Amino acid sequence: MNFNIFAISDLHLAISNKEKSMEVFEGWTDYTNKIKKNWLKKIKDNDICLIPGDISWAMKFEDSLIDLNWINNLPGRKVILRGNHDYWWPSYTKLSKSLPKSIFAISNNVINFENVSIGGSKLFDSIEYNFDDYINFVKNPLESYDNEEEIQKDLKENILLRELNRLTLSLEQLNKDAKYKIALTHYPPISADLKDSRASKILERFNIDKCIFGHLHSVNKNKKLFGEKNKIDYILASADYINFDPIKIY
C-alpha cells in the first residue's frame, strides 16, 4: 500500500450554517481551523481519510456543498458515511453525481482502493449498551432534545434492525481478497468494554480488521474504552476525542 489511511469523524462543519457552530461547546474553540491545520500537516494527496458521519450542519444538499468543498480542498481522498445530523444527505443518485471529486460516499455500497475495501452503515442506539458512564454530558443550548427522548424503544429497535441489515448488505459487497477490510459506522457498534453485540457479530462474520466510528462527544478521556476484540480493532474517531487531529489507521 503506497498510501496512508487516516480517520476523523464528526467534523460538524458549520461554514454553511454558522449559527450551528460547535464553538458554543467547551473545547471546540476554532475547531474548523484546528482540523485544517492538523490535516495539512499529515495527509497527502494520495492518502485516504475516513469521515464516518456528522459532517455538516447544512439542512439542504446545496448548502452542504460549502462544507463538502472545504473538505474537498484538503489533500487526500475522503470516504464519508451519513451521521444522524447529516440532514442534507440526498439520494445516492444525487450524491454520486454531485459530490466533489475527492469525496466518496458509502451508502449501501463499498469503496475499494487497491487492496483496501471499505463498507459500513450508520447504525443507531442499541438497547445492548450505552455510554452514560463515559460521557460528560453537556446539553447543546441550541438544540431541542424532546424529539429524541420521545422515540420509543421499539421504534429505536426497528431503526437499528434496519441499519444492521444495511451493514450486512454493504459488507457482503466487500472485496474478499482485500488485505485490509474496514467498516465505518457512525454510532458505536459495540459497548465501551467490548461485550458482544449484534453489530460486532456481523463485523466478525465479514472478517473486518478495523471498525471506525464517532457520534460520542465529550467522552471522558481518562477512562479506557473500545480497543481490540476478536481480531477487530474498534476505533472511536470523534473529532473532539482525538483533539481535532486525524488519527492514522494504516
Task: Please give the residue ranges that form the binding site for Fe ion (CB under 5 A).
Answer: 10, 54, 83-84, 215
Least distance from Fe ion to the Cβ atom of residue 201, Å: 23
Least distance from Fe ion to the Cβ atom of residue 126, Å: 14
**Residue 245 near residue 220 (C-beta atoms within 8 A):** no
Least distance from Fe ion to the Cβ atom of residue 209, Å: 24
Nearer to Fe ion by C-beta: 178 or 236? 236
Least distance from Fe ion to the Cβ atom of residue 123, Å: 10
Identify the DSSP state of 246: P
Nearer to Fe ion by C-beta: 210 or 215? 215
Nearer to Fe ion by C-beta: 53 or 76? 53
Least distance from Fe ion to the Cβ atom of residue 216, Å: 8
Return the C-alpha cell found at 170: 454493504
Element (H, E) at 180: strand 180-184
Nearer to Fe ion by C-beta: 185 or 200? 185
Nearer to Fe ion by C-beta: 31 or 206? 31
Cα–Cα distance, 238 to 4 (Å, whole number) = 19
Nearer to Fe ion by C-beta: 20 or 215? 215
Instruction: Give CA angle at 2 (99, 42), nearest 5°.
Output: 70
Least distance from Fe ion to the Cβ atom of residue 225, Å: 16
Cα–Cα distance, 215 to 83 (Å, whole number) = 8
Backbone region of residue 131 per phi and psi (left: phi > 0; alpha: psi in -120 to 50; beta: other values): alpha
Nearer to Fe ion by C-beta: 18 or 101? 18
At position 7, the amino acid (one-letter code) is: A
Backbone region of residue 63 per phi and psi (left: phi > 0; alpha: psi in -120 to 50; beta: other values): alpha
Q: Which residues of 160-178 are buried (b: 16+ CB within 10 A; e: fewer)?
A: beebbebbeebbeebbeeb
Q: Torsion over CA of 5, 83, 216 and 14, rounded to 10 degrees? A: 90
